[in-house]
């Protein structure tokens, strides 16, 4: 039994959980402690067949949270279930092992209030460890011509030209419900629902906004393999599987809407080829990996010389240097870039 809201809430917050009982209270408390009015927030937790103490811990929240208990079917299936019962004007996602800044929903709401056409708002994320120490940043490039009523159209044009989307992970995304429901249901065999949204939402988003502040905390621990951690064969194989699975859905959405997705397809194929080269390097086949990287030519006709050099150079660096060294370099770069953007107010 969840809290009863007698009118449509502004936000529906969806949380899919499986065996994150040791994190879930902090995640839920970060929603309940939002500065945005509690009566305007609907919280839905879909427990996906947990076998730990998650369900016991959820009991104390059942007067304020709608809890749905189901057999294990994956995060995508859990989110499909949650969206089906949600009532909010905007749908925000929070992974059970992450948590939010107390002003997250208020600042997201302010972005939606700027225009009735804003369909998608996302923000920077701070990456922390189990001791809550900051270890990295998730920062994103500003979408070209972000401001204004044509931002979604311009972003889609860039996407159709082969520029792949780069948005926040699940806990940093909030979407207008009407827009979200055009893009889903999620394919339930997909292990990364946020990747699906990254690739499908550009077809339906009229305006999008990036908040250049870390309004969420992504927890890096032993059970998650996406982003911010050491480059491994498992992580790259996971990325390949997700992007290949999403590709067919991108093609289906594009075809239904009358868009040519051929350049997106070529870019995805190129990304997969680069991931495979990096896998060769991690599997101690460095000579083959270096040769493939230097001879790599699966670029688009619109890719400039500098872009091609940078992509090849990045592959070579990842092949030659130990993963821990490249990770250290990346984190230093992101920390400097974050500080620069913060100082410039961008």
Q: What is the average pLDDT across 332-338? A: 88
Residue 74 to residue 216: CA distance in whole angstroms: 23
CA dihedral 172, 175, 177, 178 (to 10 degrees): -160
Give the model's pLDDT for residue 230.
82
Phi, psi (deg, nearest 5) at residue 96: -70, -15
Given a contact cutoff of 8 angstroms between Cβ atoms, the answer to whether 88 and 9 are in contact is: yes
Beta bridge partners of 67: 45
pLDDT in tens, 54-65: 999 999 999 999
Contact criterion met (CB below 8 Å) for 155 and 143:
yes
pLDDT, position 183: 97
- Give domain limits for the chain: 11-219, 233-344
pLDDT at 243 over 70: yes
Asked if the model's pLDDT at residue 191 lies above 70, the reply is yes
Q: For residue 337, what pLDDT is reported?
A: 85
Q: CB-hemisphere CA count at 13 Å for 257?
A: 18
Query: Exposed e or buried b for every residue in 305-318, given b needs 16+ CB within 10 A?
Result: eeeeeebbeebbeb
pTM greater than 0.85 (yes/no): yes
CA 1 from chain centre, in angstroms, equals: 29
d(CA 97, CA 91): 18
What is the C-alpha to C-alpha distance for residues 216 and 15, in angstroms, rounded to an integer?
14
Quote the CA–CA distance of 49 and 14 in Å, as a whole number: 16
**Is the peptide bond between 329 and the residue preceding it cis, with omega within 30 degrees of 0?**
no
- Please report, for residues 227, 265, 275, the alpha-carbon distance to residue 279 in angstroms, rounded to integers and kept in the order given: 16, 21, 6
Identify any residues that bridge with 178 across adjacent strands, giving them in sequence order: none
What is the chain's length? 346
**Looking at domain 11-219, does it have CATH number 2.60.40.10?**
no
Nearest to 55 by CA among 43, 41, 71, 39: 71
Picking from 22, 10, 121, 18, the residue whose alpha carbon sits closest to that of residue 76 is 18
pLDDT at 145: 45
What average pLDDT does the segment 331-346 reach? 76
**How much is the pLDDT for 212?**
92
Mean of all residue pLDDT scores within the chain? 92
Q: At 147, is the pLDDT very low, low, confident or very high (cuts 50, 70, 90)? A: low
Q: What is the pLDDT of residue 343?
A: 55
Give the integer Cα–Cα distance in Å for 307 and 143: 18
Shortest CA distance to 293 belongs to which of 302, 304, 282, 323? 282
Local structure of 30: helix, strand or coil: helix
Least confident of 13-17, 161-165, 260-264: 161-165
**How far, in Å, CA of 70 to CA of 52, rounded?**
14
Q: How confident is the model at residue 151 (pLDDT cuts 50, 70, 90)?
A: confident
Indicate whether 113 pLDDT > 80.
yes
* Cβ atoms 10, 43 nearer than 8 A: no
Residues 282-294 have a mean pLDDT of: 97
């Amino acid at each position: 039994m969840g809290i009863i809201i007698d009118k449509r809430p502004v936000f529906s917050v969806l949380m899919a959980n499986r065996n994150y009982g040791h994190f879930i209270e902090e995640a839920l408390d970060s929603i309940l402690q939002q500065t945005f009015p509690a009566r305007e927030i609907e919280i839905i937790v879909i427990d996906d067949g947990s076998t730990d103490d998650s369900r016991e811990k959820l009991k104390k929240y059942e007067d304020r949270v709608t809890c749905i208990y189901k057999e294990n079917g994956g995060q995508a299936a859990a989110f499909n279930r949650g969206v089906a019962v949600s009532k909010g004007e905007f749908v925000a996602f929070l992974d059970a092992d992450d948590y939010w800044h107390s002003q997250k929903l208020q600042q997201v709401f302010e972005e939606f209030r700027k225009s009735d056409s804003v369909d998608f708002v996302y923000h920077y994320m701070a990456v922390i460890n189990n001791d809550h120490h900051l270890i990295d940043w998730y920062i994103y490039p500003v979408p070209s011509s972000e401001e204004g009523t044509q931002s979604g159209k311009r972003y889609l044009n860039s996407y159709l030209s082969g520029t792949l989307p780069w948005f926040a992970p699940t806990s940093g995304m909030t979407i207008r419900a009407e827009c979200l429901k055009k893009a889903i249901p999620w394919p339930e065999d997909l292990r990364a629902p946020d990747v699906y949204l990254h690739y499908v939402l550009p077809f339906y988003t009229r305006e999008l906004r990036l908040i250049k502040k870390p309004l969420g905390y992504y927890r890096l621990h032993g059970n998650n393999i996406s982003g911010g951690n050491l480059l491994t064969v498992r992580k790259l194989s996971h990325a390949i599987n997700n992007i290949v699975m999403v590709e067919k859905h991108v093609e289906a959405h594009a075809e239904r809407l009358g868009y040519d997705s051929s350049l997106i397809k070529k870019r995805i194929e190129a990304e997969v080829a680069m991931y495979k080269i990096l896998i060769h390097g991690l599997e101690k086949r460095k000579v083959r990996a270096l040769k493939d990287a230097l001879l790599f030519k699966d670029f688009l006709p619109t890719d400039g010389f500098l872009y091609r050099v940078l992509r090849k150079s990045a592959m070579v660096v990842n092949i030659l240097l130990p993963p821990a060294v490249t990770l250290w370099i990346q984190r230093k770069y992101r920390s400097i870039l974050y500080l620069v953007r913060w100082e410039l107010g961008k």
